[in-house]
Structure 1
């Protein structure tokens, strides 16, 4: 037990809290920059089991912020390289590497048997998919995001409101690390806060971070945040659908440009998000609307416009980023 002597000496944790960590099983989605501090701190603290999910391989552009990887890892599946690094740090921690993309068809299976989910993916679609699944199962979700010099992390679901309750509407503009860049230390700070929230939840520390969001501004080096324990759940919001669940009976719209990608299915309509609204195209009675694009952002915008004139089912499909550059 000498490995854990310093953390067991923390009065708020003690042997009982440490025992909870050793018995815990967590799901980490994304093996990039946020996951680097998350995995190292959870592994170092002796969390018993980690299921790590990421579809990508290590690239040279990852190395400035994804600090678990080395030059020799380029080309290796991120989940496998990160799992090996955690095991080298602490063989007490069992890490299951899953080389796959998260989507609505596999989210329940990936979450199965876990006590807590950590969203470390550079994908707002993954965040909402995880939030919907965790809310339905009553499982806590610690989600984080960083773009440029700004980031946040929050503890959702479980006994707290979902991510949809805090972010019910799509922001006017959603950035990504590939488009807007990201500074490595900012990712490290936010990832460390995310790890602390997860360890507090797993160990049963009080007060619980559930229902709390923490922000970090890398310009001013200041943090902020707020409690959202009383945030109401939205009555309606677009849900994500797995690409494989699309059928010819759907009103399927591919919102990507012709020079961006071929149609998702031969029966899809290629339209822009601005086409929807009063006087725009609509599904027929009994059809469900399925709107797809690369990240889900344009699909969400189109869903908001279509929802003004259509009260039927609307689903979104995020077809993926061909760059594979996870935060």
Structure 2
């Protein structure tokens, strides 16, 4: 008990067996996971399934403190798994180097007690929230852009992400376009781990709560959303393998953008989906695809104003 004595003094004598039996899915092995994972492993969470398809790059190192220069080009989950194994041999780290999407999230969430969304991708966050809302699994989701961030406890008997963020802004900030401060990511990632540990030992207070942080003013804020209305997942995200031959498939990416090819898709822009724009026949399902999902979301909003059929979104990634 010497390893966990100071932790048990705070959480109580019954907390450690619960943590040892706990199974957590962590989506993303980047900046948010960098502080959160060592704290969960150090706390003795018994089984951690870590999912990320990315490799370590030089631009990660100012905030993704699990990695070193010697790790460049290696899969993040494998590097993180090795480093975390050295921290606590009581914990099993299941490293999965693949991309999470609607086709595999059910398998990844199977038999876990809590989902930690560290992907910092709005598409992944919605996918995880829609699934956890159905299964009743708690979801601790966070995001940081620039020096500002938030962390919230969703699902698990409380509303999902769509209750707090039912609509997207015209433009979403990103680490690539807006930059990000490493310490701000560290603050939010640590809060994620704090909320996750509380839920795992039986404290449900973090669920239904959003905490915000502004590093410039060094201020925290937040609110509770326990009874907020939970919109239906419409439009929902699908995976590339879910595309059907009869779908009205639209690729909103520029011709110079990378990512998985969609050879059977028509090319268009989100702005084109107004009156007189691309229009499917009534029996078709529309699938709108782009890199992050933002342009697909915007096109869906424009299309739904004059067409009431089924619309799905596809975030293809890089």
Question: CA shift at 1:9, angstroms?
Answer: 0.9
Q: Distance in 1 between matches of 2:4 and 2:259?
A: 54
Partners of 1:262 and 1:182 lie apart in 2 by 24
1:68–1:250 distance in 2 versus 1, CA, 3 Å: same
Q: Distance in 2 between matches of 1:180 and 1:235?
A: 31
Report if the CA contact (8 A) 2:260-2:316 is conserved: no
Deviation at residue 268 of structure 1 after TM alignment:
1.1
Residue in 2 aligned with 1:6?
6
How far, CA to CA, are the matches of 1:252 and 1:135 in structure 2?
Answer: 28
8 A contact 1:254–1:264 mirrored in 2: no
Deviation digits for residues 96-151 of structure 1 (CA, Å, limit 9, x no counterpart):
00000011100100111100000000211100010011111111100000000000
Aligned to 1:27: 25
Q: Say if 2:130 and 2:233, in contact at 8 Å, map to a contact too.
A: no
**The one of 173, 191, 194 aligned to 1:193:** 191
Give the counterpart of 1:318 among 308, 312, 315: 315
Q: Paired residue for 1:224?
A: 221
Any conservation in 1 of the 2:259–2:317 contact (CA below 8 Å)? no
| 1:174 counterpart (172, 175, 178) | 172
Normalized against structure 2, the TM-score is what?
0.97
* TM-score normalised by length of structure 1: 0.95
Alignment of 1:58-69 (within 5 A): 58-69=56-67
User: 1:50-61 residue pairs with structure 2 within 5 A?
Assistant: 50-61=48-59
1:177-326 aligned at under 5 Å gives the runs: 177-205=175-203, 208-235=205-232, 237-261=234-258, 264-321=261-318
Q: Distance in 1 between matches of 2:64 and 2:165?
A: 27
* Aligned mates of 2:141, 2:213 — CA distance in 1: 14
Instruction: Report the CA distance between 1:261 and its aligned residue.
Output: 4.5
Runs of 4+ in 1 over 4 A off after TM superposition: none
* Deviation (angstroms), 1:267: 2.5
Alpha-carbon offset, residue 311 of structure 1: 1.3
* Distance across 1 between alignment mates of 2:70 and 2:165: 39
Measure the CA separation in 2 of the matches of 1:310 and 1:22: 51
Summarize the Cα distance change of 1:310–1:59 in structure 2 as closer, same or farther, 3 Å threshold.
Answer: same
Shift of 1:257: 1.5
Q: Is the 8 A contact 1:290 1:314 kept in 2?
A: yes
SS state at 2:102 partner: coil
**For the Cα contact (< 8 Å) 1:152–1:214, is it kept in 2?**
yes
SS in structure 2 opposite 1:15? coil
Deviation at 1:172, TM superposition (A): 2.3
**Counterpart-to-counterpart distance in 2, 1:74 and 1:51:** 22
- Write out per-residue CA displacement over residues 192-227 of structure 1, whole angstroms, 9 at most, x where no aligned residue: 01110100000112x611000000001001100000
Tell me the alpha carbon deviations over residues 136-191 of structure 1, each in whole angstroms, 9 at most, x when there is no partner: 11111000000000000000011110001110101122011111110100000000
Write the distance in 2 (CA, Å) between the matches of 1:107 and 1:261: 24
Aligned equivalents of 1:125, 1:219: Cα separation in 2: 27
Structure 2: gaps of 5 or more residues = none
Does the CA contact (< 8 Å) of 1:31 and 1:82 recur in 2? yes
RMSD across aligned C-alpha pairs, in angstroms?
1.3
Q: In 2, Cα distance between the equivalents of 1:33 and 1:168?
A: 25
Q: Give SS of 1:2's match.
A: coil
Tell me the distance in 2 between the aligned counterparts of 1:2 and 1:226. 37
